[in-house]
Amino acid sequence: MKRKEDMVSRKCYLVDAEGKILGRLGTTIAKLLMGKDSPDYTPHVDSGATVIVINAEKVKLSGKKSMTKSYQSYSGYPGGLKETNIRNMLVRKPGYVIRHAVKGMISKNKLLARRMTRLKIYKGPEHPHRAQSPILLEVD
């Protein structure tokens, strides 16, 4: 069992989202960010990895989600509820779709914000993290 004072050595993973289903991709990324893939996982220690996602705009949706799923934002004023469907969101902000799915799968505690900062999402196939020599990870 790890203590939170112990040094944590982090791995860096590269995930290609092209043709992958959003939910399955999200669960895999959430496990890596929380560190549940390591044998010495401890819930109160932030021992997760850094995850780099490329080709975020090419993620797939299962079922009828492309027609029915929508995101809501409320300004706080009367009549200030805005709704955007997922197809438009994938065109405008593809990183938001993946980030929103992953955030919903990570445990809600003090470590959530710190874990989400280690998630890097890029629209195309290029990313500026070559120096970290990320491990290519295949997701089903």
CATH code, domain with 39: 3.90.1180.10
**Domain presence at residue 82:** yes
Instruction: Tell whether 24 is covered by a domain.
Output: yes
Q: What percent of the chain has pLDDT over 90?
A: 84
Tally DSSP H helices, then E strands, for the chain.
5, 6
Q: Is residue 81, in this structure, part of any structural domain at all?
A: yes
Interatomic CA distance for residues 59 and 94, integer angstroms: 9
**Residue 59 CA, distance from chain mean position:** 12
Say how far apart CA 93 and CA 96 lie, in whole Å: 5
Residues 45-60, mean pLDDT to the nearest whole number:
95
Q: Which is nearest to 51 in space by CA: 117, 125, 123, 130?
A: 117
Is residue 6 included in any domain, yes or no?
no
pTM for the whole structure: 0.91
- Domain residues for the domain of 24 are 12-137
Number of structural domains, the chain? 1
pLDDT of residue 136: 96
**pLDDT above 90: residue 93:** yes
Query: Residue 110: pLDDT above 90?
Result: yes
Q: Is residue 61 situated within a structural domain?
A: yes
Mean pLDDT of 88-107: 96
pLDDT value of position 40: 86
